[in-house]
Amino acid sequence: MVLFYSLLYEKGGRERNEDSMALHRMETRAGELTMALICDGMGGEDKGELASGYLVECLSVWFYDKLPSVLRNGFRRGRIQRCLQRQLFTVHEELRRFGLENKLRCGTTMTMLLIFNRQYLLFQSGDSMAYSLGRKIRALTPRQGNDRGVDRCIGIGSFKAPHMSGGRVACNEGFLIHSDGFGDRITPKDMLGALGGGRIKERGEADKALRTLAKAGVRRGCRDNMSAIYLGCS
């Protein structure tokens, strides 16, 4: 069960924050469901915040409108994955058409964490990352960027299904999902030092730790937007 959350939403050295993020929770008859989502509006692409904001909006509607009917039959990974892929494909096509009509390149990455009772599912398209923090730090998402840029992106190019992983939530485990700007100059070791080891027990402490990490990133020369969500579980 998710006990508390902490959010970091900094524009860094940029004019505006092109990332968008969402955090939703609902209590259902089958248990408690939480969704944490970060979309990075693809630095360098035009109207990045438009694409990331629109995806966050659509997935928030999806969370409340479509997901409950899927969960009525239990937390089945395959069903959730198919339902999400349909939604992502729709948004991808809408963004692509909007880009073509307005001569823009409208793209965004996405990392979504779904926690249902003691199970979690993670979906990733692009280079935003997710970590599990306990005594050790464990990357839940593979690095997807390559020399030519991000290879999975919603709204640009052909649609590729997001990478999916899942597992069980351990006692006192924490989850951190962040945009690539946050992870640019901050290493997993720094994240473990600030948030790991089971030392974060409440929201205030997590807020402080995230701010400290962001400041460290800026000191080390990060100029990108920095967005992160930390979820503390029981």
Binding site for another protein (CB under 8 A): 5, 7, 9, 11, 16-18, 20-30, 34, 49-50, 52-54, 56-57, 60-61, 63-65, 68-69, 71-72, 94-95, 98, 102, 227
Least gap, CB of 140 to another protein (angstroms):
21
Dihedral, CA atoms, 234, 166, 95, 23, nearest 10 degrees?
Answer: 0
Q: Which is nearer to another protein, 9 or 188 (CB)?
A: 9
Q: Which of 195, 172, 173, 198 is nearest to 182 (CA)?
A: 195
Q: Which of 140, 148, 206, 143 is nearest to 177 (CA)?
A: 140
Neighbours of 101 (CB within 10 A): 8
Least gap, CB of 24 to another protein (angstroms):
6
Strand partners, 226: 10
Strand partners, 149: 146
Least gap, CB of 60 to another protein (angstroms):
3
Least gap, CB of 16 to another protein (angstroms):
5
CB-based burial label for 8 (10 Å; 0-12, 13-18, 19+): buried
Q: Which is nearer to another protein, 83 or 134 (CB)?
A: 83
Q: Which is nearer to another protein, 101 or 147 (CB)?
A: 101
Q: Which is nearer to another protein, 66 or 118 (CB)?
A: 66
Least gap, CB of 17 to another protein (angstroms):
5
Residue 111 and residue 119: Cα distance in Å, rounded?
Answer: 17
Neighbours of 123 (CB within 10 A): 24
Q: Which is nearer to another protein, 47 or 152 (CB)?
A: 47
Least gap, CB of 193 to another protein (angstroms):
26
Q: Where are the beta strands (DSSP E) in 31-92?
A: 31-40
